[in-house]
Structure 1
Amino acid sequence: MFILSLTYVKPNDEADRHMEPHMAWVKEGYAKGWFLASGRKVPRTGGVIFAIGDRTAIEAYVAADPFTLNGVAEYKITELAVTMAVEGLEILKG
C-alpha cells in the first residue's frame, strides 16, 4: 500500500484553479482500482491518497496529476507493508 501525501507549494487559490482537472485525475485513479481513500489535510495544506498497485505505475500516475504538472503541489510517496487491518480492509495487506 502507498500513502500519497501531497503538499501545496502554491496558495490555495492557485490549487482551486486546478481543482477540477485534479479531481478528474483522482476519480480516474479510483476507476483504475488504485485509489482506496482520499481527502484534504486539515488545515488545508494539501491532501492524502491511500493507494495500491505497482509503485512504478503509481509514480508515473502521480507525475501526470494536474497539480504536479502545474507546480501546485509536491508529492511524497510512502510505501507501507500493512501487516494488520480491521475486517473488511484486508485489501490493504496486498
Structure 2
Amino acid sequence: MFIVLLKFSDNKSSAKEYMDGHNAWIKKNFDDGIFLLVGSIEPGQGGSVIAHNISLQELEQIVNADPFVSENVVTAEIIEVSPKKTDERLNFLAN
C-alpha cells in the first residue's frame, strides 16, 4: 500500500490549466483499481492518494504521468506502508 503526497510547488497557479487532465488521471486509476482514496492536504497544500495492488516502480510511472506532476504544479512523494493490523473492513490491505 502506498500514500502519495502531491504538494503544491511554485507553479501552483497553473493548476487550473491542467485540472481536466489531472481529474482524468484520477478517474483512470480509480477505474483500474489502483486508487482507494484521493483527497486534499489541508489547508490548500495539495493532494494525497492511497494506492494499492501495484509495485513501487509501476506507481512511480503512474504518478509521473499525472499532468500536475509532469508540469511541476505539484511535487510527488511516495511513501510505502506495509499494513500489519487493520480494522476488519480494511483486511484486504493486509493481504
Alignment of structure 1 residues 1-94 onto 2, 5 Å: 1-10=1-10, 12-52=12-52, 53-94=54-95
* CA shift for structure 1 position 16: 2.2
Where does the alignment leave 5 or more consecutive residues of structure 1 unmatched? none
Identity %: 32
Where does the alignment leave 5 or more consecutive residues of structure 2 unmatched? none
1:19-76 Cα shifts (integer Å, max 9, x gaps) = 1110110111111111000111110111110001111110001111000111111100
1 CA distance for matches of 2:94 and 2:15? 33
Does the aligned pair in 2 maintain the 1:40–1:46 contact within 8 Å? yes
Does the aligned pair in 2 maintain the 1:82–1:92 contact within 8 Å? yes
* CA shift for structure 1 position 10: 3.1
2 CA distance for matches of 1:93 and 1:63? 26
* CA shift for structure 1 position 12: 4.2
1 CA distance for matches of 2:11 and 2:56? 29
The count of aligned residue pairs is: 94
Moved over 2 A (4+): 10-13
Q: TM-score, normalised by structure 1?
A: 0.92
2 CA distance for matches of 1:64 and 1:73? 12
2 CA distance for matches of 1:84 and 1:16? 39
